Amino acid sequence: MPISEDELKTFEIEWERAPYKPLFSCPQCNGGGFLHPRKPDGSVDYTEVIPCNQPGCYADSFGAYERGEIIQQSGVIGLQQTFETFNAKVPGVQKAYNAARKIADGEGDFIWLIIYGGVGNGKTHLLNAIANRAMERGCQVKSIMMAELLSELRMSIETNQVDFKMKQLKEVPYLLIDELGLEYGTDWEREKIEELLASRWARGRFTIVATNRDIGELPERIKSRFKDQHLSRWTKNEAEDFRLRRER
C-alpha cells in the first residue's frame, strides 16, 4: 500500500535528527531506506531486508557518516571542507575564493559560477565549502561529480524515472557539479546535461561547477552561459597542485 502524504511527513520528521537517513524521494525504495533483495532466479526474497543502494539513499548516507562526511540531496559533501579550513593565502586562489564566498552567502550579483584550473589546487574544496555554507543558511543543496550525475541519469532510464530525476536536478536551489567537461558517453547524455543547464538558467537557480579543463574547451552552449556577466562569473584558480607544494 502506498504511503500517504501525512505518513511521509511524519517519517521524515522522525529521521530529521538521525546522522544518516534514506533519500525520501528515492525512486527505488520510495524513501523507506530498505529493500527486499532478489533471488538468483530474479524473484523477490521477502525473508531478507537490505539497505537501499540507490545513489544518495540509505547505504550512501551510512557510508558517508562512517567516513566523517555528510550527505545531502544525493551528494556527498566533505564535512571538514569549509571556508574556514581553506587556505586563502595560497598564491593564485584569492579570486576563486572570493567568488565562492559571495555565491555561498548569496551576496553576489551572480547566480552561476565556474571555477576552472589545474588539478589538486582546491577547486573541490571550494565547492564543498559553498555547499556547507549554503546548507548552514538553510538552502537545499545537491553536490555531485559529473561522472556520478551521468550514472544517476542512466540508472533512471532502467527505473523509468528520467523525468523525475531531471525535475529534481532542475529544481534544487543549489546544484554543484565537480569535474564538468568530462567526455559525455552518448548524445542522449549531452542533450540531458544541456537541457538541465538551460532549465536552471531560465529558472535562475544557483549553479556552481568546477572543471580541470580550460573554459575554452567546454561546449559552446554551456560556455556561453557561464560567460554571461549578467548572471554568471567564471574564475581561474591559478594555484599549483597542493601536493607538489607540500613535497617541496
CB 77 within 8 A of CB 143: yes
Over residues 72-129, the pLDDT tens digits come to 444 555 667 889 988 888 888 899 999 999 999 988 889 999 998 877 788 889 999 9
Query: What is the CB-side half-sphere exposure of residue 36 using CA atoms within 13 A?
Result: 8
Q: Tell me what the mean pLDDT of segment 202-222 comes to.
A: 82
Q: 112-117 and 206-211: which strand pairing?
A: parallel
Amino acid at 104: A
More confident residue, 15 or 45: 45
What are the cell numbers at 98? 572570493
Outline where DSSP puts E strands in the chain. 34-35, 50-51, 70-72, 75-77, 112-117, 141-145, 174-178, 206-211, 232-237
Position 74 scores a pLDDT of: 42
- The CATH number assigned to the domain with range 69-247 reads 3.40.50.300
Domain boundaries, the chain: 1-68, 69-247
